[in-house]
C-alpha cells in the first residue's frame, strides 16, 4: 500500500455512543499516519456536537435530519433519509476506513451507504446478545463490516459463528470502559454542583442527597404497544421511596416520546424527582459511582455498574442475553416486584467490583491496529 495517511472516518451519531467513542477519537488523533474525519449527526432529540467541541475535537462534517416523533414509522423513514445523506458525505470525504460502533439505526444507514461505495468498515461492539430490534441491527452491521473489535470473548465467538474470518475479529474490551476507568472521581458536593451547572436546575443543588436512586429506562422497540405500561410499572414502584430519584430521559428511539411524557408527569407529581435529558459522560460515570441503586433497562446498567459494584435492577427483556455481573438482579415489568427488589438491593449495599467488558486499554489497541489494515480488500470472505 502507498505510504500515505489513512483517512479514517468516525461517526458520532447520538449521545449514547459518544462515551464509547471519546477515547478512540482521542487516540486516533495522536497518530501521525492517520487523517481523522469526524462526522456528527444532530436531531431534535440528540446532539453530540457540543460534547466533541467541549473535548477539543475538530468536526469535519455535521448535519441535521429532523425526526419529528419517536415512532417506528419515523425511525424507518429516518434510515432512508440518513442513507442518502451519508452517501453524499462519504462521496465528499472519500474515507479509506469507516469506524462504526454498536447497533443503532443511524449506524445501519451509514453502513448501507458505505457498502455500496466500497468503503472498508470496522465495527466496534459487535457479537453481543440483547433484546429489541438492536440485536437484529447489530448482527446486520457485523455482516456489512470487514474488521471487528468485540468487547468480550463470547462476542468474538458469536461473530466467527456468523461467518467472519477469525483473524479479522480481535477482542479488545469496550472503549466505554476506558473512559469509565479514567474518569476522575467527584466528591458528592462536586457531583451536585456539576449537575446544577450542566442543567441549570437549582433542584439538583437543593434536593439531591447522597441516598439517591438512579433510573434509566428506555422503550422496548419490539414491544412498543407496552411502552407506557412498562414505564408506569417502574414509576409506580418508585412512588414508595422518599429519597431523591434521578431519572434520565430516553434516547431517540421509537416509543421514546411516550416514555418521556410519563416521566415528566411523574416528576410533576413527586417533589423528590430530578429529571435530565442528557448527562455528559463524566457526570453519568460519577452518578453511577455514588448512587445507592440503579434501576431500568439501560445497557450501562449491564456493562458498567459492575466496575463500581453498584446494586442494579434490570427490568424486562431489553438486555436479555448480555453478559453480566453479580450486582444485577433481573426482573419482569411488575411494580410490586420492582419495589421489593429495590429494597433488597438497598439493604445489600455495594458489591465487589468485576471487569467483564475490558480493562481500560481498548482505545490504544484500536489505534494500533487501524493503521495496519489493508483497506483495499473490500471483497469479504464469508465462511459458510
| Average pLDDT of adjacent 10-residue blocks, the chain of 384 residues | 83 81 94 95 74 88 80 87 96 98 92 98 94 87 97 96 96 95 96 93 93 94 84 97 95 82 96 92 95 96 96 94 94 97 98 95 97 95 87
Whose CA is closest to 89, among 5, 6, 4, 10?
10
Neighbours of 321 (CB within 10 A): 12
Whose CA is closest to 297, among 276, 313, 273?
313
* CATH class of the domain at 6-173+361-372: alpha beta
* pLDDT score for 39: 94
Element (H, E) at 214: strand 213-216
Whose CA is closest to 259, among 227, 235, 220?
227
Place of cell 458469536: 158
3-state DSSP call for residue 123? strand
What's the CA gap between 51 and 15, in Å, rounded?
A: 9
- Chain centroid to Cα 336, Å, comes to 29
- Chain centroid to Cα 232, Å, comes to 24
Cell of 320: 436479555
Q: How many residues does the chain have?
A: 384
Give the residue range(s) of CATH 3.40.50.2000 domains in the chain.
6-173+361-372, 184-348
Cell of 132: 429489541
- C-alpha neighbours within 13 Å on the C-beta side of residue 154: 9
Q: Match domain 184-348 to its CATH number in 3.50.50.60, 3.40.50.2000, 3.10.450.50, 1.10.357.10.
A: 3.40.50.2000
Give the pairing of strands 293-296 and 213-216: parallel
Strand ranges (E), 299-349: 312-315, 328-331
Question: Which residues touch 335 (CB under 8 Å, ≥6 apart)?
Answer: 233, 234, 236, 237
* pLDDT score for 1: 46
Cell of 29: 488523533
Question: 11: which strand partners?
Answer: 39
* pLDDT score for 69: 61
What's the CA gap between 81 and 66, in Å, rounded?
A: 9
3-state DSSP call for residue 80? helix
Question: Which residues touch 2 (CB under 8 Å, ≥6 apart)?
Answer: none
Question: Which residues touch 71 (CB under 8 Å, ≥6 apart)?
Answer: 254, 255, 257
3-state DSSP call for residue 188? helix
Amino acid at each position: 500500500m502507498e505510504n500515505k495517511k489513512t483517512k479514517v472516518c468516525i461517526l458520532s451519531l447520538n449521545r449514547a455512543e459518544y462515551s464509547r467513542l471519546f477515547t478512540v477519537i482521542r487516540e486516533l488523533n495522536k497518530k501521525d499516519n492517520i487523517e481523522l474525519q469526524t462526522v456528527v449527526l444532530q436531531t431534535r432529540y440528540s446532539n453530540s456536537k457540543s460534547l466533541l467541541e467541549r473535548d477539543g475535537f475538530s468536526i469535519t462534517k455535521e448535519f441535521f435530519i429532523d425526526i419529528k416523533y419517536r415512532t417506528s414509522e419515523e425511525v424507518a423513514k429516518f434510515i432512508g433519509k440518513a442513507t442518502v445523506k451519508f452517501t453524499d458525505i462519504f462521496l465528499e470525504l472519500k474515507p479509506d476506513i469507516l469506524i462504526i460502533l454498536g447497533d443503532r439505526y443511524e449506524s445501519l444507514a451509514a453502513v448501507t451507504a458505505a457498502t455500496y461505495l466500497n468503503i472498508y468498515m470496522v465495527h466496534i461492539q459487535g457479537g453481543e446478545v440483547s433484546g429489541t430490534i438492536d440485536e437484529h441491527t447489530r448482527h446486520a452491521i457485523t455482516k456489512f463490516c470487514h474488521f471487528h473489535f468485540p468487547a468480550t470473548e463470547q462476542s468474538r465467538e458469536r461473530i466467527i459463528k456468523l461467518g467472519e474470518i477469525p483473524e479479522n475479529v480481535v477482542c479488545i474490551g469496550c472503549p466505554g470502559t476506558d473512559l469509565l476507568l479514567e474518569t476522575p472521581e467527584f466528591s458528592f458536593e462536586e457531583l451536585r454542583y456539576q449537575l446544577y451547572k450542566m442543567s441549570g436546575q437549582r433542584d439538583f443543588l437543593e434536593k439531591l442527597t447522597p441516598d439517591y436512586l438512579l433510573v434509566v429506562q428506555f422503550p422496548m422497540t419490539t414491544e412498543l404497544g407496552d411502552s407506557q405500561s412498562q414505564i408506569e410499572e417502574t414509576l409506580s414502584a418508585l412512588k414508595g421511596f422518599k429519597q431523591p430519584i434521578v431519572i434520565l430521559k430516553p434516547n431517540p428511539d421509537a416509543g421514546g416520546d411516550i416514555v418521556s411524557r410519563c416521566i415528566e408527569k411523574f416528576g410533576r407529581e413527586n417533589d423528590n424527582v430530578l429529571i435530565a435529558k442528557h448527562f455528559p459522560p463524566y457526570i453519568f460515570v460519577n452518578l453511577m459511582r455514588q448512587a445507592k441503586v440503579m434501576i431500568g433497562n439501560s445497557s450501562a446498567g449491564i456493562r458498567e455498574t459492575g466496575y463500581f459494584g453498584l446494586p442494579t435492577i434490570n427490568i424486562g427483556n431489553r438486555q436479555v442475553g448480555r453478559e453480566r455481573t453479580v450486582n444485577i438482579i433481573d426482573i419482569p415489568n411488575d411494580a410490586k416486584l420492582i419495589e421489593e427488589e429495590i429494597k433488597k438491593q438497598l439493604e445489600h449495599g455495594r458489591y465487589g467490583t468485576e471487569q467483564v467488558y475490558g480493562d481500560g486499554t481498548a482505545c490504544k489497541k484500536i489505534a494500533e491496529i487501524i493503521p495496519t489494515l489493508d483497506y483495499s480488500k473490500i471483497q469479504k470472505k464469508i465462511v459458510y
